[in-house]
Structures are given as C-alpha cells and as structure tokens.
Amino acid sequence: MADIGANSKGVLNRVVQAVRRRVGAVQDGPQFRGAFASHAEALAAVRPGVLAGYNHAEIADISFEKMCLRTAWDYPVMFWLQRVLPNTTRLVDAGGHMGTKFRAFRDALDLPADFDWAVYDVPEIVKAGRVRAAKDGLRGVSFYDQLEATPPADILLASGLLQYLDIPFPDFVARLSQKPTHLILNKVATREGPTVVTLEDFDTAEIPYQVRDHAAFVASLTDMGYAIEDAWDIPTLSRAHPTFGQSTSRGFYARLK
C-alpha cells in the first residue's frame, strides 16, 4: 500500500473550505435538551410518549434521501478512502445506517469489483437497510447488527457514529474481529472540557448524543496504537448548547502504528 505521509496533512481543511464555499448556506441545527453524565442517564431522561434511542423501525427512514447525498464534510472522508482503498477488500462502515455513505460515495470512488462495504448498525436500522437494498438491487454492500459478526477489515469508517455510541470507542474497536489499519472518523462531536451527553430531539424520538472531551479523545486514539495523520473541523455542524456551551464537529484520519 502506498505511503500516505506527512505531506497530505492539513490538505483536507483546504478541501472542506473550498467545497463549503460552493455548497453555500449553513443548515439549521438540531435541537438538544439537557446535560447528563452518561448515555444511560440521558436515556432515562427521555420524555414520556416519544421513542428512546435509535433502534426503532419508525425512524429508519428519517432523512434517508438527504443522507444519501454527498455534502461538504464528506469530501475529507472520500479523500482518505481513495488513498487507502488500494490493496484492501473490505471496510466496516460503523453506524452506516441503510448504506447511505455507500450510496453517496460509490460513483466517486474507485472501488474494486469484489470490494465488500460492510455496514454495521442497530438491528432495526439493519433490517430496514436489507429490505431497501434488496428492493433497489444494491450490490457490494452487506449488513450486520452484531459487531462481533462483522468480517475482518482494514478500514473502519465511522461517519456520525461516535456521538450516538453507548460504549467507549476503544471498547468498540476491541470488539471488532480484526483491529483495522485505518480509522476514518467524521462528524465527531467534541468540546474543550469534560465529556457530556445530551438528548437530540427527533420530534418522535429523543436520542442520547455524546460530546467528547477533545483532548481525551485524541489521547485515546494514541493509546489504542494509532497515529493521527490528519484532522479537520466542520464548522457547519458545530453547535452551541444551551447548558454546556460550544461544541466542535471534527474529523480524523488515523493509522495503526
């Protein structure tokens, strides 16, 4: 596999800025409520009468078409994917919903003919994803609702997963059947302060949403044996929370040392 090296560091910020200028307006932000010490504490505080968490068939289709479109913050992910895809045959797309990133990226990436895009998500989302993939005749993508059952892969893609993850990220990676060589993480909610969990309001559901201590998260990747080779901010997804203040959405490319 070709060496990526330090010369590519920082190029993603320039790519994102250029694309953002072309994309245009900032999207309306989601609504958040409360500040909690843990995922479990936030889940226990969900309002009566609404669904708790993401594992519900009723919310599988929310924003599906929108999530299948490429956006400004997808371009750093595609930049690194295109560079690490050679000599690999599979990636695990953790929190990959109904294969939305596969749908968004497949025409823009040089995917090998036998490449397996393995999507992992909660059971109800996976069930809906399999049905929709069969209906659409989607090829090259597989679905898993048990993390340990995902096949060995050199690449772990997690775009929008980490804020909803209910276990520490190092524990998540440890449960994979193979430690991936490449981590491509996007839309990671961070703050300059202690990790906090809030509730994101989906109207019919409330979902625990974790905002990580930025420094602690970076240290955790290093402790796992990864070197961060690139990182980027996503200002259009950064939010001001009414209780704990500003958060910053970030992306990371890290490679196993």
pLDDT above 90 as % of the chain = 72
What is the DSSP track for 109-132? S---TT-EEEEE--HHHHHHHHHH
What is the DSSP track for 179-215? --SEEEEEEEEEESSS-EEEEEE-SSEEEEEEEEEHH
Q: Kindly report the CATH number assigned to the domain that includes residue 114.
A: 3.40.50.150
- Provide the 8-state DSSP code for 162: G
The reply to whether 72 falls in a domain is yes
Residue of higher predicted confidence among 6 and 168? 168
Judged against a pLDDT cut of 80, whether residue 18 lies above it is answered with: no
The reply to whether 228 falls in a domain is yes
Report pLDDT for 16.
39
pLDDT above 70 as % of the chain = 88
Q: How far apart are CA 197 and CA 118, in angstroms?
A: 28
Nearest CA among 36, 154, 159 for reference residue 84: 154
Predicted TM-score (pTM) of this structure: 0.86
**Positive or negative CA dihedral for 49, 188, 177, 111?**
positive
Q: How far apart are CA 194 and CA 188, in angstroms?
A: 15
Element (H, E) at 155: strand 155-159
Report pLDDT for 199.
94
The reply to whether 31 falls in a domain is no
| pLDDT average, residue stretch 194-218 | 94
Judged against a pLDDT cut of 90, whether residue 61 lies above it is answered with: no
Q: Are 67 and 43 in contact (CB under 8 A)?
A: no
The reply to whether 28 falls in a domain is no
The pLDDT tens digits of the residues spanning 101-120 come to 999 999 999 888 889 999 99
Count of domains for the chain: 1
The reply to whether 14 falls in a domain is yes
Q: Which two tokens stand for residue 186?
A: 């996007």
The reply to whether 30 falls in a domain is no
The reply to whether 33 falls in a domain is no
Q: Which residue range forms the structural domain that includes residue 45?
A: 6-21+41-256
Judged against a pLDDT cut of 60, whether residue 134 lies above it is answered with: yes
The reply to whether 13 falls in a domain is yes
